[in-house]
Amino acid sequence: MAKHPSVPTKPKARIPPAETQRRIKLVDELGEIQARLKPDKKREAEIVAEIRGWADAEAKPGQAVLYEGRNYVAPVTAKPNKRSIPFLSRLKILALLGKEKFCEICGITLDSAEKNLAPEQLTGLITEEPNSGARTVTTVLRPVESARKRAA
């Protein structure tokens, strides 16, 4: 009986031993990076991209794959279905909803507006709420000498 496509399987491609060892090290490196409180996001993205590349080359799009390291495993999901509304369908939705309701539910991103309109065209159209975004909270390890003085 065939496995369900969402259950990861080991890739069936024949991989040379040196490449297999390199992959084991990369899976473990990714696991170690992701376990850190402050992971190296750039390196993590590089490794994830490489592992995705393995899966794209070795598995069908609807198949999940499992790559194994010595200490970590990296399950790679099947590619999800991509859903979209084609242009002519959007026009049909506009006709069904009417302009007001359509504009209410179809938000225009600030990025999109800035890419498609000249700055003078945007004047007076964009609002900005001062100091309304989320605050960033981080911690910094105290130097050893400073911590000793506080303890004393």
Looking at residue 54, what is its pLDDT? 93
Q: Is residue 149 situated within a structural domain?
A: no
116-128: average pLDDT: 91
CA 120 to chain centre: 34
Looking at residue 108, what is its pLDDT? 85
Residue tagged 């309109």 (tokens) = 117
Q: What is the pTM of this model?
A: 0.59
Same domain, 58 and 93: no
Same domain, 22 and 72: yes
The total of structural domains in the chain comes to 2
Q: Is residue 7 situated within a structural domain?
A: no
Q: Is residue 6 situated within a structural domain?
A: no
CB 60 within 8 A of CB 2: no
Q: Could you write out the DSSP letters of every residue in 25-61? A: HHHHHHHHHHHSSS--HHHHHHHHHHHHHHHHHHS-T
More confident residue, 33 or 138: 33
Residue 1 binned pLDDT confidence (cut-offs 50, 70, 90): very low
Q: Is residue 45 situated within a structural domain?
A: yes
Range of the domain at 59: 17-76
Q: Is residue 131 situated within a structural domain?
A: no
Q: Is residue 145 situated within a structural domain?
A: no
Residue tagged 């911690």 (tokens) = 139
